[in-house]
């Protein structure tokens, strides 16, 4: 399925959110981020989604000079970047990280998921000036 409209991407976000919730419910908190990354990728692939892990993102200067690389935790269906955390609370730096990934890739939609908080946390971000 192609995810081209906002409604389709929102449905994809709902699936990722629910799958993450089920993963957290089964495993609880307390694991390293990598465990949740592998678990979420595995469960989404089982549902038929194209999931890439540790996707390199190169940041370029205005003249095209590469400045460095980041690695996004998950890229789903080529349209949704998912950044995972396993900490007590997300910070402004975590938000800046997901927004930076969206700007650098020109992908509009991202999720910041925290498996480490008392309550499972999912925040959606949209970079509309891509």
Question: Where does residue 18 rank: exposed (0-12), middle (13-18), buried (19+ CB within 10 A)?
Answer: exposed
CA 123 to chain centre: 10
Q: How many domains does the chain have?
A: 1
Give me the domain span that covers residue 20: 6-126
The tens digit of pLDDT for each residue in 73-128 reads 999 999 999 999 999 999 999 999 999 999 999 999 999 999 999 999 999 999 88
Question: Is 1 among the domain residues?
Answer: no
- pLDDT tops 70 at residue 26: yes
- Domain CATH for 31: 3.40.1350
Q: How many CB atoms lie within 10 A of CB 6?
A: 11
Residue indicated by tokens 């919730």: 21
């Amino acid at each position: 399925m192609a995810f081209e409209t906002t409604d389709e991407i929102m449905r994809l976000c709902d699936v990722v959110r629910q799958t993450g919730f089920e993963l957290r419910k089964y495993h609880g908190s307390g694991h390293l981020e990598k465990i949740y990354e592998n678990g979420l990728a595995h469960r989404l692939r089982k549902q038929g989604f194209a999931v890439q892990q540790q996707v390199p993102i190169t940041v370029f200067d205005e003249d095209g000079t590469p400045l460095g690389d980041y690695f996004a935790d998950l890229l789903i269906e080529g349209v949704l970047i998912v950044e995972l955390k396993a900490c007590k609370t997300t910070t402004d730096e975590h938000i800046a990280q997901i927004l930076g990934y969206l700007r650098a890739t020109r992908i509009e939609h991202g999720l910041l998921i925290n498996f480490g908080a008392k309550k499972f946390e999912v925040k959606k971000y949209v970079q509309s000036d891509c």
